[in-house]
Amino acid sequence: MRSWDLASVDVRPGRPEVLHSVPQGRAIAIDLPAGTALDDHEVHEGAWLVVAEGRVRVAAESQQAADHLGPGGFAVFDPGERRDISAIDDSRVLLLLTPWPAPERRARGAG
Average pLDDT over residues 28-47: 87
CA distances from 9 to 29, 30, 43 (A): 8, 10, 24
Distance CA 50, CA 32 (A): 13
pLDDT at 110 over 80: no
Q: What per-residue confidence (pLDDT) applies to 108?
A: 65
14: Cβ contacts below 8 Å, ≥ 6 apart: none
Name the fold adopted by 27-98: Jelly Rolls (2.60.120)
pTM value?
A: 0.85
pLDDT in tens, 70-83: 999 999 998 888 88
Distance CA 55, CA 29 (A): 15
Other C-beta atoms closer than 10 Å to the C-beta of 92 total: 20
